[in-house]
């Protein structure tokens, strides 16, 4: 069976990044046939009023400028749709996700494309996929009261229909880096391929 993975790295650090190292190990472990790469160090635009207006204009009624404005967002949506698995490398910055990852989420979570509204509330449209999220933090323990990253990411994944979400955490690295990395590496080895 062929497998396509969308590999997203959100760390601002391109060298020496723990989350990038972990996500690379996960990619290696999965041995996917196709890997779509999205590095968020290349800044994504933030949602603007013009973008929102374009997004809520019916597709057939959009003018050229609106289609152009939504072009990158459309590409991000297609990357997520094409993937069987999303592998996201994310550091915890100031107790939450980096702004670059939030920008990706804002551009990719689109009504009618990745979720829809029903009489029972929102329904994710990217069902049948899984997400493996490699988390690194210096002082924040994953799952603690001050971790505003992992719960948010689990919720967002579920919101777009991805309910099979696994975390590989190298957390509280400043307290005991060796133990944190050993736990993360064990979690990677235990991943189903």
DSSP string, 59-100: GGG--HHHHHHTHHHHHHHHHHHH-SEEEEEEE-BTTB--HH
Tens-level pLDDT at each residue, the chain (193 residues): 689 999 999 999 999 999 999 999 999 999 999 999 999 998 899 999 999 999 999 999 999 999 999 999 999 999 999 999 999 999 999 999 999 999 999 999 999 999 999 999 999 999 999 999 999 999 999 999 999 999 999 999 999 999 999 999 999 999 999 999 999 999 999 998 8
pLDDT in tens, 109-153: 999 999 999 999 999 999 999 999 999 999 999 999 999 999 999
In CATH, which of 1.10.472.50, 3.20.20.70, 3.40.50.360, 1.10.10.10 is domain 4-190?
A: 3.40.50.360
Spatial neighbors of 44 by CB under 8 A, at least 6 apart, are: 72, 100, 103, 104, 107
Write the burial class of residue 81 (CB in 10 Å: 0-12 exposed, 13-18 middle, 19+ buried): middle
Tokens of 129: 């996929």
Q: Of 91, 105, 54, whose CA–CA distance to 174 is shortest?
A: 91
100 is in an annotated binding site: no
18 is in an annotated binding site: yes
The number of C-alpha atoms within 13 Å of 25 and in the hemisphere containing its C-beta is: 21
Q: Of 87, 103, 2, 91, whose CA–CA distance to 51 is shortest?
A: 103
Distance CA 122, CA 140 (A): 31
Distance CA 162, CA 3 (A): 16
Other beta carbons less than 10 A from residue 166's beta carbon:
16
11 is in an annotated binding site: yes
Q: What element of type H or E holds 122?
A: strand 121-124
**Cβ proximity of 87 and 193 under 8 Å:** no
Domain ranges of the chain: 4-190
Q: Of 81, 52, 83, 86, whose CA–CA distance to 69 is shortest?
A: 52
The number of C-alpha atoms within 13 Å of 76 and in the hemisphere containing its C-beta is: 21
pTM, rounded to two decimals: 0.96
């Amino acid at each position: 069976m062929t497998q396509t993975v969308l590999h997203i790295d959100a760390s601002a650090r391109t060298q020496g990044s723990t989350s990038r190292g972990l996500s690379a190990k996960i990619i290696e472990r999965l041995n996917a046939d196709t890997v779509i790469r999205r590095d968020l160090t290349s800044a994504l635009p933030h949602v603007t009023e013009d973008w929102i207006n374009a997004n809520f204009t019916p597709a057939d009624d959009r003018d050229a400028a609106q289609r152009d404005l939504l072009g990158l967002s459309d590409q991000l949506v297609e990357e997520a749709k094409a993937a069987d698995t999303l592998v996201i490398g994310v550091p915890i910055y100031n107790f939450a996700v980096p702004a670059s990852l939030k920008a990706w989420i804002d551009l990719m979570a689109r009504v009618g494309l990745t979720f829809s509204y029903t009489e029972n509330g929102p329904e994710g449209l990217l069902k049948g996929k899984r997400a493996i999220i490699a988390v690194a933090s210096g002082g924040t323990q994953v799952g603690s009261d001050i971790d505003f990253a992992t719960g948010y990411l689990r919720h967002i994944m579920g919101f777009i229909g991805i309910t099979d979400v696994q975390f590989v955490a190298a957390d509280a690295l400043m307290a005991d880096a060796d133990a944190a990395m050993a736990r993360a590496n064990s979690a990677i080895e235990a991943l189903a391929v």
